[in-house]
Amino acid sequence: MSISDNLFALDEQEIQNKNFVNHFLPFRSQSSGLDFEAIAGSILTVAFQKRLEKGSTLESFKSSVYGRLQYKLTDKEIFPLIEKMYFDNEAAGLFKVSPEFLIAKAAQAEASTNKHVAQVFIGFIRDSNRRFPKLSSEVNFLEQELVEAFHQQLTDCNEDPVERPYLPFMSELFSQDLGFLLEHPGYFLDNLRAFFSLYTFLYSSQLALNINGWTEQPASKPLFFILDTEKASLERNQVREAFRHLRTKAFDLFPVLSMLEYLNQPKNRKAIKFPLWKIFLDINEMDTLQRNSINSSLIRFCEKYREKRKFPPLEEYPQSTKELIEILSRTAKEIFGTKGTNQHAVNNKFVNAFENEIAPHFVQVRGRSGRVLTISQDYLLLLTNLAIGSRKQIQFQELLQEFRKRGVWFDRQSEQAIIRFLERIGNVERMSDSGDAVYVRKTL
């Protein structure tokens, strides 16, 4: 279904009593922590277009493995050892063999907390049309039997996308970085939690910074970090203001996305969900008759929306799409910004969830500077490897540009701290004293 299909159904939408956001937002007001292995399993199901056959269980897989091995292993005493190595502790050892085994955990991503994170990244994968590499983990004979037995329990799957990425630039980079990691299966498994944690935070942050810029396609917005080993002195304004600015923008996420749900046929599961910026740009490309019809629907929707939330009607409405969407967006923010209301409490819970569930690894309190955005050395190395990707090495300035594309910005002091850190671990090659002649290598 197209944007026009969704909008022409706008008059049929009933404003609900409950406040809800079902798309584009990877966190919820109440969370019990994220299971990144389950999230990865759900994403890899889409990346590889494979899922477990119906009825497949860990026990049925284990029986299949033992059936394959009973004629290939002469020493039967090894079976208890196999059990201990790969199937004890809920098969913890099995999930360290090769990434495709994580597909067995995909069902656990259906839990609400995990589902919404997975849904965002699955949308990225489906939109990219990227072909992901066939895995080539360096496994031993025994583990190869495990892999082949597991493949026999997989079946093809390919579903159409349910939502278009809100941040296309982030979508492309995520798919690119995931593809690179899967070319190094061992490194992917070692850094799985860090990779998805990093991207969940970067996506959420850039979504907040772009949510009000719906008159154009989103782009990476400045968000300044420091290394967690640096001092955050008061004169570093970009660093000192970054988290405060981000938190302010985060308060607009739930209101705008909650309003957006109604523009995307919320009760129609077959309707594709589009970002607000895409809806605005598409309406502007329509002919005058179609655009006027949709603008009339937007006016009627705004009247119903304000009435349901007990807001007074407006005396008059503008006729341009831009001004109408501005009114809708402003109305949503007023609804969720009115202190003492249920909506205000809900919005506060969502912002708290962002701070406590998504951001804690990237925020530190630094004295008089307050809370600042930080990145640890482990995250920096992961980000460096992703930025360099399949290349052997890149210039330092190009590395910084790759960081910025992903939503990680550094001031001059941090740039110098990064060079010193990378030199200390032997990842830097200086061709001359010029900054442009500093090259950075991967750690892989």
Domain ranges of the chain: 25-162, 376-441
Closest CA to 48 of 139, 178, 192: 178
Order of strands, edge to edge, in the sheet holding 371-375? 363-365, 371-375, 224-227, 409-410
Its pTM stands at: 0.96
State the DSSP H helix or E strand holding residue 323, giving kind and residue range, or none if neither.
Answer: helix 321-337
Closest CA to 97 of 132, 135, 131: 135
Closest CA to 344 of 260, 258, 276, 261: 258
State the DSSP code for 372.
E
Closest CA to 205 of 267, 250, 272: 250
d(CA 32, CA 45): 24
Q: 438-441 and 428-430 as β-strands: parallel, antiparallel, unpaired? A: antiparallel
Closest CA to 209 of 177, 161, 169: 169
Any idea which of 28-37, 77-86, 117-126, 299-308 has the lowest mean pLDDT?
A: 28-37
Tens digit of pLDDT for each residue in 181-236? 999 999 999 999 999 999 999 999 999 999 999 999 999 999 999 999 999 999 99
d(CA 17, CA 343): 11
Tens digit of pLDDT for each residue in 51-66? 999 999 889 999 999 9
Tens digit of pLDDT for each residue in 346-364? 999 999 999 999 999 999 9
Q: 224-227 and 409-410 as β-strands: parallel, antiparallel, unpaired? A: parallel
Protein fold of 376-441: Arc Repressor Mutant, subunit A (1.10.10)
Would you state the structure tokens that stand for residue 334, as one six-digit string?
């007023």
Q: What is the pLDDT of residue 111?
A: 73
DSSP SS3 for 13: coil
Q: pLDDT tier at 384 (50, 70, 90 boundaries)?
A: very high
